[in-house]
Amino acid sequence: MQSLPVFLALTGRPVILTGQGEAAEAKRRLLERAGAIVVREEDADARIAIVADGDEATVARLKARGLLVNATDRPALCDFTLPAIVDRDPVLIAIGTGGASAGLAAALRQRLEALLPTHLGDLARALFAARGALRRLWPDSAQRRQAIGKALAPGGAIDPLGFDPDVDFWLSEAPDAMVGELYVLRLRSDDPDDLTLRDARMLAQADRVYHAVDVPAAILDRARVDAVRIVAEGLPTEKSEGLTVWVGI
């Protein structure tokens, strides 16, 4: 990754916006939608700034004050970039290209807008409201994560892309957590795009990933950040046999 995606809580916070025209107005609408207070360059309390006309002198002045700056259409001058956004409040999906192509980010956003149902926000709020019930059903955090992962999986009880997922109904059925298992994933290539849907899902749900030393980092990155990676001896590593990953659930 060339940058770390973050979500900034801007409600009630001042953000400097400079420049005129359509680009500046678009940034103003975005900031106001996020609850920010748009202020002038002279504001002493702001810590973030957007230079909508990409003016280098303005960028230099603001950076000299210690602000993080976005310069429109000038990725080399940016401390952060603004992604294309799919808004299913409180679910936000951000698509960034590191300033390489705003058009590509916009095209991906349009695809996701068509794919993701409007009820995603309702599902997120229902899961938040159900936190107490989830903890009572599964006091162990690993079991709770597995149960939620199983329910949210394709075809699961509350599949986010399914028809009207109902969290209360799911919990009233007293669902079981996923039974612990060891899943063997034999890689056909070093390309993570060659993973089957099931392989990718198991990697994403794994608590532990046992792997040969030469399994590519791009494959292991498909597992959760907090999943334990364990280099295991005795796993087949010959290309003719296929790289092997053991996924512990």
Helices (H), the chain: 22-33, 56-64, 102-115, 120-129, 131-137, 141-152, 167-172, 197-205, 217-220
Residue 16 and residue 69: Cα distance in Å, rounded? 9
Measuring CA to CA, how many Å separate 52 from each of 18, 64, 73, 164, 236?
Answer: 6, 18, 8, 41, 54
Does residue 216 have a cis peptide bond before it, meaning omega lies within 30 degrees of 0? no
Q: In residues, how long is the chain?
A: 249
pLDDT at 200: 86
pLDDT at 65: 97
Query: Is 159:152 a contact under the CB 8 Å cutoff?
Result: yes
pLDDT at 133: 94
pLDDT at 236: 53
Q: What are 83's two structure tokens?
A: 């992604």
**Domain topology for 1-82:** Rossmann fold (3.40.50)
Nearest 10 degrees: CA dihedral of 234, 142, 228, 224?
Answer: 110
pLDDT at 165: 92
| Order of all β-strands in the sheet with 48-51 | 37-39, 14-18, 48-51, 68-71
pLDDT at 120: 94
Q: Where are the domains of the chain?
A: 1-82, 85-116, 120-172, 182-248
pLDDT at 185: 83
**85-116: CATH number:** 3.30.160
Which stretches of the chain score pLDDT less than 70? 174, 176-181, 234-249
pLDDT at 248: 59
